[in-house]
Amino acid sequence: MTSAGQPSPIRVDDELAWARDRLHAAGIDSARSDAEWLLADVLGVERGRLVILDDLDPTARSRFRTAVDSRCARIPLQHIVGTAAFGPAELAVGPGVFTPRPETEFLAEWAADAAHGSSAPVIVDLCSGSGALAIAIASIVPGADVTAVERSPSALEWLSRNVAAAEEHGVAVTVLPADVTDAGRMADAFPGGTVDIVVANPPYVPEGADVAPEVAHDPPEAVFAGADGMSVIVPMLTVVADMLRAGGVVGIEHDESTSPAVTTALAATGHFADIRARDDLTGRPRFVTARRIG
């Protein structure tokens, strides 16, 4: 209480500090930024505007503390706020779809670079999930003909919703419900040699690997790929080789333990050159890119 008998103001700074400490104690590395995202969501303001706010009302504090409790239970931040930022895209996400991860933005930037100078590149996003890569790339590359391929019915619901929202902003993506390892189906959809760029963030975690608690909220079929993490990537490579034109390129995200396996599998097809292992921003080998030879 203040000296005049009024309740003490609830300071934004104090609440953020309280939340940061709780989130940190729950094992969350990004405690301060998660606290800010949660408070911005509760208040319905841009995160950057928090600095100009002084006080919270008790209802907002109660809602904020409930959101912090959920995050401390390791519910993904994106499930709590309902969206995931991914490059220029904002995706609706929740149960039934993989939460896009920031490191995957590398593939969107790589594809945009690869498309540079091409007027209407044909680009395919295999294992599209929420549509993060497809929608980000279609936003960045004007005139691109982008198709998002996904198999899971629940992911397809989120994907269709995100594609419809992107369309309202003039960003066009075609959705193809299909199994990326089904060579016949994929050949029907992408007749041989017609695709310029393929990106893929397939399931790739070896079964039984240690994962962060948040991963329990991703569908298992989006994450795990057999004992070696390669059960989707290997059959997918034949499909990729079939759809790419000579000189077309592919970029694949993979587990940090499988870079040699992915480069070896690409080489073993006999269809790729310039096979290059690439690191993420923390220096871990997480991507392989390659060029289709004629």
Ligand X SMILES: C[S@@+](CC[C@H](N)C(=O)[O-])C[C@H]1O[C@@H](n2cnc3c(N)ncnc32)[C@H](O)[C@@H]1O
Secondary element (H or E) of residue 14: helix 12-25
Cα 166 to chain centroid distance, Å, stands at 16
Q: Which segment (19-27, 40-48, 128-136, 188-196) binds ligand X by CB under 6 A? A: 128-136
List 55, 221, 228, 280, residue binding ligand X (CB under 6 A): 221
Where would I find the H helices in 191-258? 220-223, 233-243
Sheet holding 285-292, edge to edge: 174-177, 145-150, 122-126, 195-200, 244-253, 285-292, 272-279
**Could you say whether residue 180 binds ligand X (CB under 6 A)?**
yes
Q: Is residue 38 within 8 Å of 71, Cβ to Cβ?
A: yes
Q: How far is the CB of 245 from ligand X (least distance, A)?
A: 22
List 28, 38, 133, 249, residue binding ligand X (CB under 6 A): 133
**Could you say whether residue 222 binds ligand X (CB under 6 A)?**
yes
List 94, 121, 202, 229, residue binding ligand X (CB under 6 A): 202
List 23, 28, 71, 98, residue binding ligand X (CB under 6 A): 98
Q: Token match 């007027």: residue? A: 119
Residue 290 CB-density burial (10 A; 0-12 exposed, 13-18 middle, 19+ buried): buried
Q: Which segment (68-76, 176-184, 241-249, 284-292) binds ligand X by CB under 6 A? A: 176-184
CA separation, residue 97 to residues 83, 131, 144, 292 (Å)? 12, 10, 25, 31
Q: How far is the CB of 149 from ligand X (least distance, A)?
A: 6
The smaller minimum CB distance to ligand X, of residues 100 and 285, is found at: 100
**Could you say whether residue 166 binds ligand X (CB under 6 A)?**
no
The smaller minimum CB distance to ligand X, of residues 87 and 129, is found at: 129
CA within 13 Å, CB half, 158: 26
The smaller minimum CB distance to ligand X, of residues 203 and 285, is found at: 203
CA separation, residue 187 to residues 18, 94, 144, 209, 244 (Å)? 55, 32, 20, 33, 11
List 150, 196, 242, 255, residue binding ligand X (CB under 6 A): 150
The smaller minimum CB distance to ligand X, of residues 98 and 190, is found at: 98
Footprint of ligand X on this chain (CB under 6 A)?
98, 100, 104, 127-130, 132-133, 149-152, 155, 179-181, 201-203, 221-222, 232
